[in-house]
Amino acid sequence: MGRSLFFYKYAFGRGDSIVPIPFPPVLPQKIVAQGNTCVTLKQLETQILKMILKRLKSRSLSALACLISLAALSGLHAAPTITSIDELKALQSKIKLVSQKVMPATVSLFSAKNGASGSGVIVSEDGLILTAGHVVRGAEEMTVIMPDGKQANGKVLGANYTRDSAMIQIIDGQKKWPYAEVGNSKDLSVGDLVIAIGHAGGYDAVRTPPVRFGRMVARGSNSFITTDCTLIGGDSGGPLFDLEGRVIGIHSSIGNSLSANNHASIEGFIEDWDKLKDGKTWGRLGGGSMDDPDSPVIGVLTGDSERGGIAIRNVFGGGPAADAGLRDGDVILSINGRRVTNLRALHAEIFRHKPGDVILVRVARGEENITRKVKLGRRGDFQE
């Protein structure tokens, strides 16, 4: 896998502090000095695996030890304890094979218009991409960067912001794109092993997207699932796979601990598939910690499109819209003179600016159209 990183998250747990370590180690020489002794990489690998196995057998991680086995490697999810280095090596090999299979379909996304970025996964030969709703917010087109650096243009289709799900279609002329198979997260149970990939920290030409693995720890509302796969900025929109390399979720938000990272499940995408492909946008984001804290907000909860604009369902007290005198039931017609007829257009206009900028918001209120000056807030200070 070249310089791709495999994180054995549980190798060096110290109480509640889990220290991820890269494996295989990125080493410039065939031998490594260890004290006054030189060891081969093969010997070093064995030593690391022994330490991992020892941790897996420790009391503090006994629950995890019950999850991993050759049964999981054969496609089953129930898992008795790993008891040997050979079994741990088999798991490592399985993760490598799956990662090699799906790596070409894991892409980095970037919007030159508003600077938004994240990850995504191609799920069809003709270049259909699944990603997170907050990654495409405010963008109509995204640059798609393949792991090998090749770039393509993508058109943003639809988004369900409540589920934090979105679709992008590659519009360049190539007929066949590498893609990953869509799976079924309903088959997974709490404790099952999963693999997370994403362009952590953004696209990096000197390494492939880092690979991490962990386990499913919970199912939430709105088709979200929670895992303890370590995620950071840039992973947003990246794929979560089962041990057969099938897409079962899309990275959505980072929790307050390693055991609370949320993913939009593939079932939510399947339920909304036709609407997303048709370019429909609806719902609202929950303000997960993967959102850029420096992005601009107006402080309203929007509803459906009506009367040629976007209805305001709720104006949050103390927010920019409230300070400007906007009210529940107002219908946003334009921003700085530009018409907005759907959520994507509204976000696109807001994202032309930065927190502190003053924009002109024209709304319909009853039979009257009025214009208010709104000083944009900062998401980190006020969650929309």
The pTM of this model reads 0.64
Do 161 and 134 meet the contact criterion of CB atoms below 8 Å apart?
yes
Provide the 8-state DSSP code for 317.
T
Look at residues 42, 57, 90 and tell me which one is the last residue of a structural domain: 90
Burial label for 65, CB within 10 Å (0-12, 13-18, 19+), is buried
Tell me whether residue 82 is in a domain. yes
Look at residues 65, 90, 115 and tell me which one is the last residue of a structural domain: 90
Tell me whether residue 346 is in a domain. yes
Tell me whether residue 329 is in a domain. yes
User: What number of other Cβ atoms are within 10 A of residue 311's Cβ?
Assistant: 19
Question: In terms of residue numbers, what domain contains 364?
Answer: 296-378
Rounded distance between C-alpha atoms, residue 56 and residue 133, angstroms: 36
Tell me whether residue 75 is in a domain. yes
Tell me whether residue 108 is in a domain. no
Residue 296's pLDDT is what? 83
Residue 350's pLDDT is what? 85
What is the Cα Rg of the chain in Å?
Answer: 23
> Length of the chain, please?
384
Residue 74's pLDDT is what? 35
CA atoms within 13 A on the CB side of 370: 12
Tell me whether residue 210 is in a domain. no
Tell me whether residue 127 is in a domain. no
Instruction: Give the total number of structural domains in the chain.
Output: 2
Burial label for 48, CB within 10 Å (0-12, 13-18, 19+), is middle
> Could you give phi then psi for residue 271, rounded to 5 degrees?
-65, -35
Look at residues 73, 90, 107 and tell me which one is the last residue of a structural domain: 90
CATH number of 354's domain: 2.30.42.10
Q: From first to last of its 384 residues, what are the pLDDT tens digits of the chain? A: 333 333 333 332 223 333 333 333 333 333 344 444 455 555 655 666 666 566 555 533 333 433 333 333 333 344 435 567 777 778 888 888 999 999 999 999 988 776 778 999 999 999 999 999 989 987 889 999 999 889 999 999 999 988 899 999 999 877 799 999 999 988 888 888 899 999 887 888 878 888 888 888 887 766 788 888 888 777 889 999 999 999 999 998 866 555 568 899 999 999 999 999 999 888 766 544 445 556 788 888 777 667 788 888 888 888 899 999 999 999 999 999 999 887 777 877 887 888 899 999 999 998 899 999 999 988 766 544
Angle CA(84)–CA(97)–CA(69) in degrees, nearest 5?
30
- Side chain identity at residue 161, one-letter code: Y
Tell me whether residue 222 is in a domain. no
Residue 285's pLDDT is what? 63
